[in-house]
Every structure is written in C-alpha cells, then in structure tokens.
C-alpha cells in the first residue's frame, strides 16, 4: 500500500489467489504423543529482514531460527526468473535457544508469576549481533544474541599423556599444587594419591608456560546474554510490547496502563496511557493490545475490550488521556445479547508496513481500518461466523475468551489469522479482491480447503464501504468436518518481504509459502 488510495502492486497479479504449499515443520509430534504444557508455543515473530524467526513457549524459553537459503542466490526475484534460476522456498534452521524467564512469586500479592512468554519483539541489529525483547506477565528482558568463536586451551607445562587419577592434567596449576605437596611433606589423604601418582620431569620445569587460548577452528556458537531487565512497572499482566521506529524506545501495555521505556534505561519508565478509574467498580473496559506506528515515532494505537481502537499522538501531552482518533464499528440496530460485548473485544492489532492501514482481530471477525477514515472499517472478514449459534457452549468452556492474533503481508495485499482445529485463514484485503482460503497447520495445508467465492457480499454506506467475506455453513469447516475447539491456532506471523507464513499448532512450528 502506498500513501495514496492505491495498493502497491505485487510482482504477480494481486487478483490471482495464492497457492499455498508446505515448507517446513519444527517439533512435529507423532500420532498419540502427549504435548507437554511447557512446550506449547505462545509467541512468534520475524525480524525486519525476515532472515530470523523467534518463538517463545509457556516454559519461558525463546528459540531462534535462521534462514539458510539466502546465500544460495543473488539478485532480485525478477532477475533470477529472467536468468531461469530455480527459485527455492524459504528454508530455516534451528539456531539456538535460551531460558528467558523463570517462574517467580510475588510475595506482596501472594501471586505466582508464570514463565510463559507473552510477546517477542526484534530490535535493530548492531555489530553482527541480534537484539530482541521478550516479556512474561510482569517482566520485560532485553537480550543480545551473538556468535562467539569456539576457543580451546593449549600449550600446557605438563605432558598431556600423563594422567592424574582418571583425568588428564589440565593446567600447570596442577603441577604447582603437587610440587608444593612434595616440598611441604604434610598432605591430606585426599591429596596423597595425587602426589604419589605424579612425578616431576627430569631436571624439573625449566620455565612456566601459561595456558594459551586459541581459536582452533572457524566454528562459532551463538551465545545469549540478558542486557537489561525492565521490571516492577506493571500491576497487571503485560499483554503487549512494541518497538518504536526511532530505535531507542518501546512501549509495554497491561490491562489499564501503557508505559514508555528507553532501551538504555531499565529502572525508569513513563506512564503515557492510564484508563484506571478512581473506583474500580466504575471500570468498563481494559486495554487488550498496543502497537507503535511503523514510521511515525510519535504515534501509537491501542485497542480495548469494547471493540474500539484509539490512535494517540505523543506530542499532544505527556499523559495521553485523550485520543487523536477513535475507530469503532457503527452502532448496530437491534437487540444485544449477553455475548455482544465479549465477542467485540479486540484481541490483536497490527499496522501495515507503510502505516496507513490497521488490521484488528476480534473473536468473530478480522477488520481492516484506514487511519484517515474513522467512520468505520474499510473491510470486514468473517473468520468463523458459523460459531454464533454455539456461543453458549464456547462461554461454558471459556473458548470465547481465546485471543487470536492476526498478521498482514509486507505488501499489504493479504492478511491472515487463526481459528480452531488448527486452521488459519488468509484473506485478500486489496480493494476488489475476493481471495479467501482456509488452511490447516499440517503437512497438507489444503486438506480442508474452502473454495473461493465468486463475489463477496458487500454493504455500501454513504461514508465507507464494508466488505464482508468468508461466511461458511454452521458448525463445520469447509469440508463439513466438525471443529475441534481444544486445538486452536492462536499465533502466526507473516514474513515481512515474502508470501511466507509461520504458525504455531501446540508445540509444533509450521511454515508455508506461496
């Protein structure tokens, strides 16, 4: 998408639907294998280059993957096609993992703080090192991951062929200790065996050679180090973190507040949004997600449990009590049910790469907003409209409170979000587009393919056009298979430069390309 009304054209005809193919899977479980709770993936994020992918799980671990096919060819896609170079799909490999968070206990509130990773955000790279932020419910950590050359110790005084007990002499310090034992004469029983098993070389040790650390090969090993810990700034559970385009600051959001941090300062933050009322019984909505604008460092958006999205400008005041723009669905005529407000709660928001369009996900729908038009969404996509008759059952088993994420392609032409039975849906969001696809997180993603409708149903108003697309038959997926509400695809990410999607199904990471 450009700054104007037109959408940037893709290399191929954007009106043609994509054909999605399976690429890779990490952590695939065999049939009947029980999934451990700590292994379930809870966060996915590509870096800005698309060459690295990070996942976080409920066990507090962060796993990094790196792309392996980037050095196989050079030149643009068009140049490679003209040269008849065989294009390959993106391939990633495991890079490293580290324990980001551990379970804690808040003694003041008698509250257990679980180690689950809620969000991961990549920061700007520097000097060949990777930087990222990870957070659980209370604490944010800033990590540096850098490849370190493998080094070994060599050039010792002692003969490596001579052994002490069951091990090889490791350093000259052993010979010094043993020598002192022989000179002093009085040794303990523990050291007696060392003294009897070791003898000085003929003529003694002529000179002292300290251990020398050398690089014995070109191998390197990635090392993760926690640079900073941002703690004790949130009374409620953190649901979002987002980097600023200035590369220096980031925000963290909980249910009632949004704080602004400097990456270099971990003991101080500024509260920029506070929706906590004077009396908690007057609380009517909470913050559900927050995101910085991708290019304007002074703008950010946050969503609420009432289905509204607020755009704020940090230049207006230090505490942004008022918003610049409010985006919400026009009031619908007719009676409201007990579930109306629950299903309207926005679970995730994402800016398009150029920043004009904003994607939001509530329980039933995916909406595309134009930040220059606050009268209503530009388009609305039905994710699982067939669940409306089952809202009572979903409320009883708490599925109605599931927080599905959404993502938008780098060119802004398509968006994706998850559903139940490990399904995810891809929609064409370009004006006039009709693309709708349902895929399953498995080696055969098109097994439950939903045919693309010939024309979307549309409703026109005098202010804005709303496109409603993707409705299906009640209670089943595209192939009349009963949905499994215990297997849900909550987390997914779109590659920033290519049509490639990574999604999490329990403890398995599936990757697809088109």
β-bridge mates for residue 24, sequence order: 511
> Distance (Å, rounded) from C-alpha 435 to C-alpha 416?
11
Q: Are strands 92-99 and 61-67 parallel, antiparallel or unpaired?
A: antiparallel
Collect all residues with Cβ–Cβ distance below 8 Å to 370 and sequence separation of at least 6. Answer: 356, 357, 358, 378
> CA-to-CA distance for 176 and 403, rounded, in angstroms?
64
**Cβ within 8 Å of residue 346, ≥6 positions away:** 288, 289, 303, 304, 305, 307, 308, 309, 360, 361, 362
Quick one: CA torsion of 303, 304, 308, 312, rounded to 10 degrees? -50
CA angle, 228 as apex, 113 and 262 as ends, to 5°? 105
| 493 beta partners | 502
**153, 134 contact by CB (below 8 A):** no
Distance CA(416)–CA(405), nearest Å, equals 9
In degrees and rounded to multiples of 5, residue 386 shows phi and psi of -70, -10
Cβ–Cβ < 8 Å for 339, 327:
no
- Report pLDDT for 16: 78
How far is 90 from 67, CA to CA, in rounded Å? 7
Q: What is the pairing mode between strands 212-230 and 140-154?
A: antiparallel
Distance (Å, rounded) from C-alpha 22 to C-alpha 89? 10
Residue 176 is encoded by which pair of tokens? 């010094």
pLDDT for residue 481: 55
Q: Are 63 and 53 in contact (CB under 8 A)?
A: no
Cβ neighbors of 5 (< 8 A, separation 6 or more) are none
Q: How far apart (Å, rounded) are the C-alpha atoms in residues 358 and 291?
A: 10
Task: Return the number of other C-beta atoms located less than 10 Å from residue 56's C-beta.
Answer: 28
Segment holding 193, helix H or strand E? helix 189-197
Which residues are bridge partners to 253 per DSSP?
240, 258
What pLDDT, on the 0 to 100 scale, is given for residue 445?
85
Interatomic CA distance for residues 62 and 98, integer angstroms: 6
Angle between helices 189-197 and 172-184 (to 10 degrees): 110
Q: How far apart are CA 512 and CA 296, in angstroms?
A: 31
Closest CA to 483 of 389, 413, 376: 389
CB-facing half-sphere around the CA of 12: CA atoms within 13 A: 11
Neighbours of 70 (CB within 10 A): 13
Instruction: Tell me the pTM.
Output: 0.78
Q: Yes or no: say if 437 and 20 are a contact pair by the CB < 8 Å rule.
A: yes
DSSP assignment string, 140-174: EEEEEEEEEEEEEEE--SS-TTSEETTEE--SHHH
Element (H, E) at 177: helix 172-184
Q: DSSP assignment, residue 338?
A: T
Decide the pairing of beta strands 325-327 and 309-313.
antiparallel
Q: Give, in order, the Cα–Cα distances in Å from 66 to each of 92, 96, 147, 222, 225.
A: 5, 9, 13, 12, 18
The SS3 call for residue 217 is: strand
**Eight-class DSSP state of 51:** S
Under DSSP, the state recorded for 15 is T
Q: What's the Cα-to-Cα distance from 89 to each of 67, 309, 404, 420, 514, rounded to whole Å?
A: 11, 36, 27, 27, 8
DSSP letter string, 98-133: EE----EEETTTTEEE-----EEEE---BTTBEEEE
Q: What is the pLDDT along the chain (514 residues), one digit of tens a residue?
A: 444 444 333 445 655 788 999 999 999 888 778 889 999 999 999 999 999 999 999 999 999 999 997 655 455 555 555 555 445 678 999 999 999 999 998 888 888 999 999 999 999 999 889 999 999 999 999 999 998 877 766 655 555 454 444 444 444 444 444 444 444 444 444 444 444 555 666 766 666 666 666 666 667 789 999 999 999 999 999 999 999 999 999 999 999 999 999 999 999 999 999 999 999 999 999 999 999 999 999 999 999 999 999 999 999 888 888 899 999 988 777 778 889 999 999 999 999 999 999 999 999 999 999 999 988 999 999 998 889 999 999 999 999 999 999 999 999 999 999 999 999 999 999 887 788 999 999 998 886 544 444 333 333 333 333 444 554 444 455 444 567 888 999 999 999 999 999 999 999 999 999 8
Nearest to 342 by CA among 367, 371, 305, 374: 305
- Six-digit token string for 511: 């990757």
Locate 72 and state its tokens. Answer: 């196989």
The H-or-E segment that residue 438 falls in is strand 436-440
The pLDDT value recorded for residue 471 is: 47
Measuring CA to CA, how many Å separate 443 from each of 226, 367, 439, 500, 511? 36, 29, 10, 15, 9
């Amino acid at each position: 998408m450009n700054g104007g009304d037109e959408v940037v054209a893709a290399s191929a005809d954007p009106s043609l639907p994509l054909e999605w193919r399976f690429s890779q899977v990490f952590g695939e479980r065999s049939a009947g294998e029980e999934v451990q709770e700590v292994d379930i993936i809870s966060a996915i994020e590509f870096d800005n280059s698309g060459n690295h992918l990070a996942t976080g799980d409920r066990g507090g671990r962060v796993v990094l993957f790196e792309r392996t096919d980037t050095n196989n060819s050079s030149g643009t896609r068009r140049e490679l096609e003209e040269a008849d170079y065989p294009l390959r799909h993106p391939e990633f490999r495991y890079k490293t993992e580290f324990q980001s968070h551990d379970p804690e206990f808040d003694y003041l509130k008698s509250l257990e703080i679980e180690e689950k990773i809620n969000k991961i955000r990549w920061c700007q790279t520097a000097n060949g090192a990777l930087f990222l932020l990870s957070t659980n419910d209370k604490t944010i950590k800033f990590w540096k991951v850098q490849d370190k050359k493998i080094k070994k110790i060599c050039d010792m005084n002692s003969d490596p062929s001579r052994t002490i007990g069951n091990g090889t002499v490791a350093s000259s310090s052993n010979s010094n200790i043993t020598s002192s034992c022989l000179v002093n004469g009085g040794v303990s029983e523990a050291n007696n065996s060392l003294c009897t098993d070791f003898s000085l070389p003929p003529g003694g040790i002529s000179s002292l050679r300290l251990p020398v650390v050398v690089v014995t090969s070109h191998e390197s090993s990635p090392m993760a180090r926690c640079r900073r810990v941002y703690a004790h700034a949130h009374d409620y559970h953190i649901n979002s973190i987002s980097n600023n385009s200035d590369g220096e600051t980031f925000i963290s959001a909980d249910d009632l507040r949004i704080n602004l941090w400097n990456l270099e300062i971990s003991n101080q933050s500024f509260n920029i949004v506070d929706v906590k009322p004077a009396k908690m019984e007057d609380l009517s909505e909470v913050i559900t997600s927050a995101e910085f604008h991708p290019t304007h460092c002074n703008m950010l958006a946050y969503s609420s449990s009432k289905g509204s999205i607020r755009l704020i400008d940090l230049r207006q005041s230090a505490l942004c009590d008022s918003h610049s723009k409010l985006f919400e669905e026009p009031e619908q005529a007719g009676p409201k049910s007990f579930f109306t407000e629950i299903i309207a709660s926005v679970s995730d928001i994402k800016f398009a790469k150029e920043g004009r369009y904003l994607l939001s996900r509530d329980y039933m729908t995916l909406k595309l907003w134009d930040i220059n038009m606050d009268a209503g969404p530009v388009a609305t996509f039905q994710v699982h409209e067939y669940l409306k008759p089952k809202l009572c059952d979903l409320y009883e088993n708490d599925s109605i409170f599931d927080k599905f994420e959404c993502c938008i392609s780098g060119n802004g032409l398509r968006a994706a979000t998850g559903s139940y039975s490990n399904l995810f849906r891809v929609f064409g969001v370009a004006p006039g587009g009709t693309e709708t696809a349902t895929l399953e997180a498995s080696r055969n993603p098109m097994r439950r393919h939903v045919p693309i409708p010939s024309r979307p149903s549309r409703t026109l108003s005098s202010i804005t056009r709303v496109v409603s697309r993707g409705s299906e038959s009640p209670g089943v997926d595209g192939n009349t298979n009963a949905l499994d509400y215990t297997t849900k695809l909550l987390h997914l990410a779109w590659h920033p430069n290519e049509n490639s999607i990574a999604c999490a199904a329990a403890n398995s990471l599936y990757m697809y390309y088109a």
